[in-house]
Amino acid sequence: MKNVTESITHWELLEIEKPARYLGGEVNQAKIKTNPTLRVCLVFPDLYELGMSNLALKIFYETLNNHPQIMAERAFSPWPDFEGLLRRKDLPLYSLETGTPLHDFDALLVTLPYEMTFTNVLNLLDLGKVPLQWREREQGPIVIGGGPSASNPLPMAMFMDAILIGDGEEAIIEICESLIKTKNSGADRSSIRKELALIQGMWVPEFAGPVKKRVFKGFANSAPPVKPPVPNVQATHNRAVLEIFRGCMQGCRFCNAGFYYRPKRERPVENLVDYARQLLHNTGEESLGLLSLSTSDYCRLNELITALDQQKLFPEQNISIPSLRMNESTMSLLDSTPQVRKGGLTFAPEAGSQRLRNVINKNITEEDIISVMRSTSGSDYRTVKLYFMMGLPFETDEDVEAIVDLVKKLEAIGRACRPRKQISLSLSGFVPKPFTPFQWAAQADMSELRRKRLIVTRGLERGGSKVSWREEFLCLLESVLSRGDERVGELILKAWQLGCRFDGWHEHFLREKWEQAFAETGIDAAKYLGERQISDTLPWDFVDFQTPRAYFEKEYLLAAAAAREGTNESAS
């Protein structure tokens, strides 16, 4: 077993930006096991700083390394400068713990956190000298993907031996024990995949049968990772993270995550306080992030924050709450808890008009939004960031103009606040994701998204808000990658061959190469972006998401009814 790092000199590392990304040896790194039965590498297809902030990676790392027969190591996408060094020297990408080439592991467990990492997955496999397609792998590691962007597994099907859909805590152990069993028996690769297909939540492209999303029912009584490796360079989210509950019952009709993580499951306050102390003690962090899809929906949040404050481990300990609902109870909570870190407030009204918020089932009113803004006066919060979408189903120009009207009202309130508040807007085109009530809706084309974006930006030119937006082509691409069938794998492969990687990074995104990939593969984006009929068979219908299709259909029809009702009210 070769340690690749021994082939890289100190002088070569000095030419690389942040070489600590590639060296391992962090505080809390797992102890190296001698001759484990199964060696797996947890692969995150983005930069070290992002991967080290990823909760799933921390969960699997701690879970697997607590198993006596398994050694789990880590690998991340190298930045282009380090990739260049590896390719010049013909060295394989390796794990941080032991410098082992990726091709020497029994399995690679690949996180698929968002669609813009798909080309990075191919790049990681290629750098690790692992054949890209499962049909080409006669030996070497079994490659298993999973994560939120694997809800529809078809676009990445040609590259994965198997894909897990749903929660991974229990499944990851079952997967590894299945691999131990087949390794000990000397099973061939097809038999290995056949065995994996027996695990609930596992979809195996070779057999391509129906699959049922995996739900971790024991979440409420489970322990979170309390001894994660401490990054060698500052992580994107520089805090200790504690998942207080999983799932969301708000039912926003555009939100895949809300349905992916259902049902809602809460950890008890008493357990969370204990886990928080262990986590802070083991990492030395002074900031504790309370993680969930919407932290203010935790039913005992006041009690939890009070208990965490009363049992501080460090005098300067503070709490970060990154995901909040825009309502008065949220601000009352924040104002009454000085131990919550005061930075900026981030909210997602998503739509400017009440009509459209009703259509998308975003359960906040304009009165809520105005009230929250007013309540920031006198607080230490200085910035308010707002997220809006454009191109939503049943949207009119009046709905888009309502974003301008709402922001102008908030700007006026912010100017009157002491200290004065700075508002920033983030605009993005709506992407109709699978397993949402809007999965049948069309994606607005680029020219339409740009036209709507200009309504907002020109309407706010003389205001004090900072406005940013997501490039329209990226919205189109995300739709194709999330709504696609197996042919989209050919598009991903071609884009990677043309040099695409780090597509989520503005400075590395190569739009012209993606356009060339569409042209050379003959794939028509419009096929994946158009409206579908409720009666249509969808590419991902073979996945049982544990939310009935009939529910999604009903919600889509309710959205249409809300749109008609709102239009009639406006006309009257």
pLDDT tens digits, 34-73: 999 999 999 999 999 999 999 999 999 999 999 999 999 9
Distances (CA, A) of 266 to 308, 321, 340: 17, 16, 21
Q: Residue 235's pLDDT is what?
A: 82
180 Rama class: left (phi>0) / alpha (psi -120 to 50) / beta: alpha
Domains 239-341 and 342-470+545-572 share a fold: yes
Domain boundaries, the chain: 4-209, 239-341, 342-470+545-572
pLDDT at position 324, please? 74
> What's 239-341's CATH class?
alpha beta
The domain 4-209: what is its CATH number? 3.40.50.2300
Q: Which pLDDT value is given to residue 336?
A: 60
Give the Cα separation of 447 and 545 in Å (integer). 33
- What's the confidence (pLDDT) of residue 5? 95
pLDDT score for 371 = 87
Q: What is the pLDDT of residue 341?
A: 56
- In angstroms and rounded to an integer, the radius of gyration of the C-alpha atoms of the chain is 24
> Is domain 342-470+545-572 annotated with CATH 3.40.1350.10?
no
Task: Tell me whether strands 142-146 and 107-111 are parallel, antiparallel or unpaired.
Answer: parallel
Residue-level pLDDT at 359: 97
- Alpha helix (H) ranges present in 417-544? 446-459, 472-483, 488-497, 511-521, 525-529
pLDDT tens-place string over residues 359-372? 999 988 999 888 88
DSSP code per residue over 243-299: E-EE---S--TT-HHHHHTPSPEE--HHHHHHHHHHHHHHH--SEEEEESS-GGG-T
Task: Enter the tokens of residue 168.
Answer: 């991974």
Per-residue pLDDT of the chain (572 residues; tens, 9 = 90+): 689 999 999 999 999 999 999 999 999 999 999 999 999 999 999 999 999 999 999 999 999 999 999 999 999 999 999 999 999 999 999 999 999 999 999 999 999 999 999 999 999 999 999 999 999 999 999 999 999 999 999 999 999 999 999 999 999 999 999 999 999 999 999 999 999 999 999 999 999 999 999 999 999 999 999 999 999 998 877 789 999 999 998 899 999 999 999 999 999 999 999 999 999 999 999 889 899 998 888 999 889 988 988 888 887 788 887 777 777 666 666 666 655 655 577 888 999 999 999 999 998 899 988 888 888 777 777 888 899 999 999 999 999 999 999 999 999 999 888 888 899 999 999 999 999 999 999 999 999 999 999 999 999 998 889 999 999 999 999 999 999 999 999 999 999 999 999 999 999 999 999 999 999 999 999 999 999 999 999 999 999 999 999 999 999 999 999 999 876 554 43
pLDDT at 337: 61
| Element (DSSP H or E) covering residue 194 | helix 189-196
